[in-house]
């Protein structure tokens, strides 16, 4: 994430400290207009959506929000190891969707894409002949048809419930 920012700004940076830790804070209004990704890609996609939509390199996706400014806060925990140790295989399963967000961003240049591919292969998260999959994107909450979603959930709720009656 920092390499992507450095490439676009021309300045070395380590400004992103928690790109995949879920420790970002923003307004509800901003959260409602961002598209998201599923699984481990959710936090990086949140940042990429902001960089692409409001970073000034690509056309702004929401003119009013761009004019008013976007604020994001990172909250670094005192103990960055809050999760249980899940081993190297967990890291391999996590790294592919995380880096695929950056790889498929309109902001990513060929050199960073090559670094990502090499890193994924070196970590055993990708085979040399494999393509990096695009993350599954979820539309912005503001664009969701709530009536349609509620109807769908009414019909399918038993298949989403872990509780038995």
Per-residue pLDDT of the chain (165 residues; tens, 9 = 90+): 889 989 988 888 887 766 566 666 788 888 899 999 988 898 899 989 999 998 888 888 888 888 888 887 777 666 555 555 565 665 677 889 999 999 999 999 999 999 999 999 998 899 999 999 999 998 899 998 889 888 888 888 877 765 555
**Residue 3: other Cβ atoms inside 10 A:** 17
What is the domain count for the chain? 1
Q: Is residue 165 part of a domain?
A: no
Supply the CATH number for residue 69's domain.
3.90.550.10
Q: At what angle do helices 110-122 and 87-103 cross, to 10 degrees?
A: 170
Q: Is residue 51 part of a domain?
A: yes
Task: Give the HSE-up count for residue 63: Cα atoms under 13 Å, Cβ half-sphere.
Answer: 0
Q: Which domain holds residue 27?
A: 2-77+87-160
Q: Is residue 104 part of a domain?
A: yes
């Amino acid at each position: 994430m920092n390499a992507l920012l450095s490439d676009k700004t021309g300045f070395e940076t380590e400004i992103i400290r928690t790109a995949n830790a879920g420790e970002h804070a923003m307004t509800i209004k901003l959260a409602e207009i961002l598209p998201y990704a599923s699984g481990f890609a959710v936090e990086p996609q949140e940042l990429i959506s902001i960089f692409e939509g409001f970073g000034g390199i690509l056309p702004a996706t929401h003119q009013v929000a761009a004019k008013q400014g976007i604020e994001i806060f990172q909250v670094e925990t005192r103990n960055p190891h809050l999760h249980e140790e899940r081993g190297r295989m967990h890291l391999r399963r996590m790294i592919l969707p995380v880096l695929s967000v950056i790889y498929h961003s309109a902001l990513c240049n060929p050199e960073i894409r090559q670094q990502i591919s090499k890193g994924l292969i070196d970590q055993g998260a990708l085979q040399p002949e494999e393509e990096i999959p695009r993350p599954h994107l979820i539309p912005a909450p503001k664009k969701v048809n709530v009536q349609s979603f509620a109807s769908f959930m009414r019909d399918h709720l038993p298949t989403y419930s872990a509780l038995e009656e």
